[in-house]
A and B are shown apart, each in its own frame.
Chain A
Amino acid sequence: MKTLQPDGSLEQWTDEIMAEGSSRTLKKRHINRYLSVVPGVLILLGLSVFPSVYALIVSFQKWILTDPAGRKFNGVENYHNLIANPEFWHSLLVTLTFVLLTVVIESFLAYSLALLFFRPMPFHRIMRTLILLPMLTAPIVVGMLSRFMFDSQFGIINTISESLGLGRHDFLSGLNTAFLTLITVDIWQWTPFLFLIFLAAMQSVPEELIEAVKLDGASRLQIIRHIFMPLMKYPIIVGVTLRLIDSFRVYDLIYATTRGGPINLTSTMSWSIYESGFKVLNVGMASAYSVIFLFTVLLVSGIFLRSLAKEGDL
């Protein structure tokens, strides 16, 4: 690295003059500019590409950590076993249902909430801030809190449900309720996230534009459809895509509450991979599962990202 002495400016100056003449110096200068990228990119490469390749290799091996026989190449057997296993298809279904239901309901609720809070009302600032609290609470804390509040004996939700005449329920362990309870918790926690994004987007719509179309006699619905919707398309796609990506990840909540049960009714792909990798210690199988999971996420979010790329400058 060049030391910057009082004559440093001169050196740089001549550098620049020379650069005009010789493309080699120019190239060198250009590369120097980008040198600071290296350490960060190395970490990213080291912790993404390297493990991915490793996972791909392991997915073609029979490797159970408790098995003294060690690891051995077994071709596509892991994949074959997975696809032949109805539990896998069940997990896929649970995951896709979870993702679809949470994201659709959250988007709808968040949009309605954003409309509700769009125009000022008394205390709207403090209310808006308070609504963000669930999103700012660590998912594992939300998980523990859910387990406490939905408890079948002493949970406050059961007390409320009973006093409303709705009876008591095994919210987190009932066959019919566990999955829906998890969805409810997810909606409670993440609707604020989309609400925040949608509201910010709505507020960036120029006030004069709304006033102008109002004067032209546009109805409330028409304003939403023809002004808000087109101008908010990009933020909506960004927000929903991020929720989609994160909804696939649900793990903390399940760890704290149902652990995949009752039976396997809340066993999402994330959870199944964790179980086969860190409980059964069948890392070969877990790796094959991860590869399939990654492609599922890529496929579903890719559809969204493609429309995102069309909209913006990604």
Chain B
Amino acid sequence: MSANIRRKQTKLDGFRFVLGVLVTLIFVFPVLWMVMTGFKTGNQAFSNSSSFFFKPSLDNYREVLFKSDFKSALMTSFRAVSISVVLTVLLASGIAYPMARFPSKGMNRLASWIISLRIVPPIVTIIPLFLLLKNIRLTGSLASLVLVYTFMNIPLAVWLLRGFFKEVPREIEEAAEIDGLDTKRIFFKIVLPLSAPGVVATALLSFVFAWNDFLFANILSGATTRTATVGLTEFVTPVGTAWTTIMAAGTIVVIPVWIAALFAQKYLVRGLTMGSVK
């Protein structure tokens, strides 16, 4: 009888495996299709005979990186996003550290308020923000992008960092305090190095969210400050749409995020749930 159960179990496991592979294929196929199309010539992309087996060409990548404005869009994205990530981590640490180390009623209230900002849809923020930034002639500038990305990521970063800072053993900080270090030094010399992996993960996730943004960039970026996500949509012209080029550009947009996610994998769940699920 136990053999019977075991046979049933292996049969079930086989079924589970087949289902797992099928499901994985459904989620991977479109992404794979994008990457593959990026390596096709126009003729190959639109003929059925060369759907999966074709001679890969780098023409689209050459087009995207050397012949179009996309390269400068990538540079804009990199600049705006990196500056905002540094600002985010600094400013969010300033909030998160006292929150973790000296909790109080006021601090808890601040934490709730900060998380509630996550609810506000960006389209609601962007209209008044656009009008205000236009008044001070800041629309179309890199600064406006840096500002909104920092604003956008601080809540996430505060909640994540608070959790990471809390995990630093209190005794170490207390010992340092007795040795005469002030709060600032304790933070930079002890807490920050000890929570480095968490801080890096926070930076990586902030990078991902800012990098993927399209709404803010579409409205705030000007002719010289197009981000990569905006540049991507500009391959669609009234004359025609260069699909193979777009797929190559799309792949380029997506790769930094995949790399960042790979490095932050361990903290992905925590990051996506603002630290509430570990």
**Which residues does A use to contact B, with CB under 8 Å?**
1-2, 4, 8-10, 12-13, 30, 32-34, 36-41, 43-44, 47-48, 50-52, 54-55, 58, 113, 116-117, 119, 121-122, 124, 127, 129-134, 136-141, 144-145, 148-149, 154, 156, 159, 188, 191-193, 196-197, 200-201, 204, 234-235, 238-239, 242, 245, 248-249, 251-252, 255-256, 270, 273-274, 277-278, 283, 286-287, 290-291, 293-294, 297-298, 301, 305, 312, 314
Contact = CB atoms under 8 A, between A and B. Distances in A.
Interface stretch (B60-68, B148-156, B166-174, B195-203): B148-156
Interface of B: 13, 16-17, 19-21, 23-24, 26-28, 30-31, 33-34, 37, 45-46, 48, 51, 91-95, 97-98, 101-102, 107, 110, 112, 114-115, 117-125, 127-132, 147-148, 150-151, 154-155, 158, 179-185, 208, 211-212, 214-215, 218-219, 229, 232-233, 243, 246-247, 250, 253-254, 257-258, 261, 265, 268-269, 272-273, 276-278
A301 B229 contact: no
B27 A192 contact: yes
A51 B132 contact: yes
Given A127-B24, A200-B278, 6 more contacts: A34-B107, A116-B20, A137-B257, A141-B229, A274-B123, A277-B130
A44 B155 contact: yes
A239 B123 contact: no
A42 to B, nearest CB: 9
Query: In terms of DSSP, what is the predominant structure of the interface of chain B?
Result: helix
Contact of B233 (A36, A38, A144): A144
B185 A136 contact: no
A34 B122 CA distance: 29
B33 A301 contact: no
Contacts of B147: 43, 47
A41 B95 CA distance: 8
A145 B123 CA distance: 23
A252 B98 contact: no
B94 A40 contact: yes
Pairs A-B, 3 closest by C-beta atoms: A9-B180, A40-B91, A36-B94
B31 A137 contact: yes
Contacts of B247: 145, 148
B277 A235 contact: yes
B269 A197 contact: yes
Given A47-B148, A133-B31, A255 B123 contact: no
A144 B232 contact: yes
Contact of B123 (A1, A47, A136, A290): A290
Contacts of B257: 136-138
Given A4-B182, A290-B123, A134 B20 contact: no
B120 A48 contact: yes
B30 A44 contact: no
Nearest to A4: B182
Contacts of A149: 30, 33
A255 B214 contact: yes
Contacts of A50: 132
